[in-house]
């Protein structure tokens, strides 16, 4: 396949590339939420008396991670592919 044919195939891509970008952007918050809840569960198992404080910090971290995911969801609509 020549370079011109490759370029022509790339130009014919149809669809919203923002959805691909969001799919890639959702990986980070997904990993972050897993780390937050995994480490929070370990911390509560080690210090059950501090479970309330740990849970509050866990929820705060979860909210911040999910805010990043929502920003990633909105950005393709704000800056559409032209």
The pLDDT tens digits of the residues spanning 14-25 come to 556 667 777 777
Whole-model pTM? Answer: 0.66
Q: Contact, 71 vs 22, CB < 8 A?
A: no
Question: What's the pLDDT score for residue 51?
Answer: 95
pLDDT per residue of the chain (82 residues) written in tens, 0 to 9? 577 777 666 655 555 666 777 777 788 888 999 999 999 999 999 999 999 999 999 999 999 988 988 887 887 777 766 5
47 phi and psi angles, rounded to 5 deg: -135, 80
Please report the pLDDT score of residue 71 as a whole number: 85
């Amino acid at each position: 396949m020549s370079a011109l044919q490759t370029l022509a195939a790339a130009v014919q891509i149809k669809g919203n590339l923002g959805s691909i970008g969001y799919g890639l952007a959702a990986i980070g918050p997904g990993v972050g939420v897993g780390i937050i809840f995994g480490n929070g569960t370990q911390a509560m198992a080690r210090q059950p008396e501090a479970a309330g404080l740990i849970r509050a910090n866990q929820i705060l971290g979860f909210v911040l991670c999910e805010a990043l995911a929502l920003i990633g969801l909105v950005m393709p609509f704000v800056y559409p592919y032209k």
